[in-house]
Amino acid sequence: MNAGKVLVFGEDTRSFLATVRSLGRRGVAVHVVPANLRAPALASRFIAAVHAPPPWMGDGAAWLAAVEALLRAERFDLVIPCNETALLPLQQHRARLGALARLAIPDDAAIAVLFDKHATRELAQRLGIPVSPGRLPLPGESAGDVLAALGMPVMVKPRRSYVLERLDRRGKVQFVSDAAELARLLPALPAGEHVLEGFFPGQGLGVSLLASGGRVLQAFEHHRVREDGSGSYYRVSAAVTPALLAACTKLVAALHYTGLGMFEFRRNPQTGAWVLLEVNARPWGSMPLPLGLGVDFPWRWYRLLTAGEEIPAVGYRVGVFGRNLVPDLHAVLAEAQARGAGQLAVFGRWLLELGRVVTGREIHDVLVRDDPRPALVELGQMLGEAARRGAARLPGWAALGRRRARGRLRAALRRAAADRQGAGEVRLVFVCLGNICRSPFAAALLAARLADRPRLRIGSAGMLPRPGRSTPPFGVQAAAAHGIDLAAHRSTYLFRAEAAAATLLVVFDAATRRAVLDRYPDLHARVIRLGDLFDGAEIADPIDGDAAVFAATYAAIAAAVAELERRMENLCHRF
């Protein structure tokens, strides 16, 4: 075994888990930085340590300080980001962090091309590589102009999936098949930030490779068996198509590229014509398939970057299927629901496919013999969520939720009363996703009603790492009707120190509860849902609503806060 130490950013059960397993099996000590600390992949036996620096936000100072301290303390051989939310901050501080550890990211010139769909298209066209008809929107053009040039349907793609200023939000590809919809969409597109592209029908293909100095060292091809707008959870290995490999070779040579990449193509099975769609210049979602077939991309990449070793290319079996079981099951369920009368055929086909495991023609992304725990955790979470949804339909479930929430409120206040270090102080924090609509209003309203309680500290925060945002005008208007002024409010993020110091974290819906516990799973007992103290209903985010939606939302919050106030008055005599 080879000694070594790496830091891997991510938490998914595809590219991240494949990278962790690849290096861990070779004896490398793998430390990880996940965003979701309840992710099933973290159950892998190959993870030596988990670190949780704050997410990138604002100017990134808190993230940079924490990551820099981590690199100084641990002295990693290599830092591998499996997603762009880590890659872009690492690129931003390449000089500073690269002095402490080698960074497994492309050079700036390659990032400028491969992480920009328009720039990728332009380079491909210069090299004679086919792409779908497409371009940037033209000023003042109509939907008719676009359709005349590109036909229908049209793909509206963000040039970059992520930008450093909004790492919490992935750019969404929109499939537009209606002229009226396109007419509504075009004026709202930020100038120069989207690509309009004609749809090329066919099957999705991927050519994965490792390159060094513009030379392809290893290639692997897969074909998508089932796919949706977010990718494919079922695919099959195939012999590398010479024309596709030649296109990849041209691109990596033009960029003098070093690193991993997965080149996405679409091929028409009737005509054989194909186009390049985009390039993933980082670990990619289908990586468990080549890894399971002996094409160990992460290990070869590690050796290339840390030792300069170019391991010779290896062959692999074709016709072997790779499945990410849980999301593939969700996709099959959705297909069956859409089919209606054809549901039995869908499930029958799926069960027959699973039989390929017995013949050795199918491998699974997550469930592997030497590291089964991530699959067991993932399956347990899926069954637990299904059980909760089923239980929510049972009579008395809402009443049980109210009893639990009220019990947690009582227990939290008793803990605060017994906490000598905290001097009997109650710290209540309202939490929503953005901290611009619901939580600041609820916090200000309760603080105003309990202003005579000197040991009561009431605040608000959000789970999106986007500080400094103001409350929307409709929110300011609706809050004013309740005597609350939110004009000066600016959003803040719920950092661990504040979350851990809180007596109670009050959320508004299941999504926020999940976001809190994904980041701080040890604080489960301190989280309650505001509606469970009142009528059991969730209070949805009004962010995209009009004045009437904000007024109704704030009325619901006011009613629930009044119930919280009443219960705290009964329980907080000493505060």
Helices assigned H by DSSP within 279-396 = 288-292, 297-307, 325-339, 343-354, 373-391
* 113 contacts 253 by C-beta, under 8 angstroms: no
How far is the C-alpha of 15 from the C-alpha of 286, rounded, in Å?
A: 7
Burial of 30 by CB count in 10 Å (0-12 exposed, 13-18 middle, 19+ buried)?
buried
Q: What does the block give as tokens for 95?
A: 């000089």
The residues that are catalytic are 432, 438, 541
Q: Which residues contact 65 (CB under 8 A, 6 or more apart)?
A: none
Segment holding 506, helix H or strand E: strand 504-507
Q: How far is CA 162 from the centre of its chain?
A: 11
User: Residue 126's CB: how many other CB atoms inside 10 A?
Assistant: 10
Tell me which residue has tokens 């490999």.
245
Q: How far is CA 27 from the centre of its chain?
A: 29
Segment holding 470, helix H or strand E: none
Closest CA to 471 of 541, 530, 538: 541
Q: How far is CA 263 from the centre of its chain?
A: 21
How far is the C-alpha of 441 from the C-alpha of 432, rounded, in Å?
A: 11
- Distance set, CA 320 to CA 14, 184, 239, 290, 543 (Å): 17, 44, 11, 10, 46
How far is the C-alpha of 398 from the C-alpha of 405, rounded, in Å?
A: 11
- For the chain, state the CA radius of gyration: 26
Tell me which residue has tokens 């208007």.
477
- Give the 3-state secondary structure of residue 15: helix
What strands, in cross-sheet order, belong to the sheet with 47-50?
47-50, 29-33, 5-9, 78-81, 102-103
* 537 contacts 556 by C-beta, under 8 angstroms: yes
Q: What does the block give as tokens for 224?
A: 């998508």
* 562 contacts 531 by C-beta, under 8 angstroms: no
**What residues does 275 pair with on adjacent strands?**
266
Helices assigned H by DSSP within 131-235 = 143-150, 179-185
Q: What does the block give as tokens for 120?
A: 């990728």
